[in-house]
Amino acid sequence: MLQKLYDWVDERVDITPMWRDLADHEVPEHVNPAHHFSAFIYCFGGLTFFITVIQILSGMFLTMYYVPDIVNAYESVKYLQNEVAYGQIVRGMHHWGASVVIVMMFLHTLRVFFTGSYKKPRELNWVVGVMIFGVMLGLGFTGYLLPWDMKAYFATAVGIEIASSVPLIGGMIETFLAGGDVLGAQTLARFFAIHVFFLPAALLALMGIHFILIRRQGISGPL
C-alpha cells in the first residue's frame, strides 16, 4: 500500500532523485562511532534538532488548549494537566525539553568551537548558529511566562528589568516586552505571539540556512 502511494506521488513529483541525493550523502569517517569513539561529540547537533522537533510538535498540541489571557491562562494549563488525555506527559516533554535543548545546543556550540569548525569557510554558518542560540533563549524566556503563575510572573518581571538596563535601547526593549507600565494582559499577549509565531518563524528560517550551508560545505574535518 505504501509502495503504491509512493509510486503514485513519485510519478507526479519525481521525488526519488531528491530522496537519493539526501540518502546517498557520504558521512566522513571521523564522525562514524564504529571507527572513532570520539565521534559521539558530533551527535549534539542532531540531538538538538531532534529535541527541537519534539518542542514544535508538543507546542502545537499545547496551543490547542492554551488560552492566552490573564483570566484563563493558568486555568487552561491546569485543565490541560489534569483533564486532557496525556496532557501532563506532553506538557512535561515541552517543559523539560526547553531545558534539554539549551544544554544540547551549548554542547554543540562547544564542539564547534573547540574543533575549530567555525573557521573558513564556515564563518557564516557559525554566525547563523549563534543566532539560532539567541532565538532558542528567546523562546525559553517568552515561554516561561505563559503558565501565568506567581513564579513565572516574578521571574519575567526580573528578566524585563534586566533587559531595561541595556544602554540606550533598554527603555524601548522594556516597553516592547511589557506593553505598558506593568506586567498584565498586554504582556502575556505579546509573549504568546512572540513565542508561538515570531520566534518559531525565525528559528525555521535560520535552521533552513544552517542545514543548506552544512550540505554545501560538509562536516568539518577531525581535530
Q: Is residue 36 part of a domain?
A: no
**pTM score:** 0.90
Q: Is residue 88 part of a domain?
A: yes
DSSP state of 37: G
Q: Is residue 18 part of a domain?
A: no
Q: Is residue 22 part of a domain?
A: no
Cis peptide before 121 (omega within 30 of 0): yes
Q: Which residues constitute the domain of residue 95?
A: 42-217
Q: Is residue 8 part of a domain?
A: no
Supply the pLDDT for residue 199. 98
Supply the pLDDT for residue 105. 97
Of 121, 110, 77, nearest in space to 95 by CA: 77
Q: For residue 37, what pLDDT band results from cuts at 50, 70 and 90? A: low
Say how many C-beta atoms besides its own lie within 10 A of residue 221's C-beta.
Answer: 10
Predicted confidence (pLDDT) per residue in 134-188, tens digit: 999 999 999 999 999 999 999 999 999 999 999 999 999 999 999 888 899 999 9
User: Which has the higher per-residue pLDDT, 3 or 82?
Assistant: 82
Number of domains in the chain: 1
Q: Is residue 199 part of a domain?
A: yes
Q: Is residue 16 part of a domain?
A: no
Q: Dihedral of the CA atoms 27, 29, 35, 38 (nearest 10)?
A: -90
- What gap in Å lies between CA 114 and CA 118, rounded to an integer? 9
- What gap in Å lies between CA 31 and CA 26, rounded to an integer? 11
Supply the pLDDT for residue 34. 65
Predicted confidence (pLDDT) per residue in 1-24, tens digit: 888 898 898 888 888 887 777 777
Q: For residue 28, what pLDDT band results from cuts at 50, 70 and 90? A: confident
Q: Is residue 25 part of a domain?
A: no
C-alpha cell at 75: 486555568
Going by C-beta distance under 8 Å and a sequence separation of 6 or more, which residues neighbour residue 100? 51
CATH of the domain at 195: 1.20.810.10
Say how many C-beta atoms besides its own lie within 10 A of residue 34's C-beta.
Answer: 7
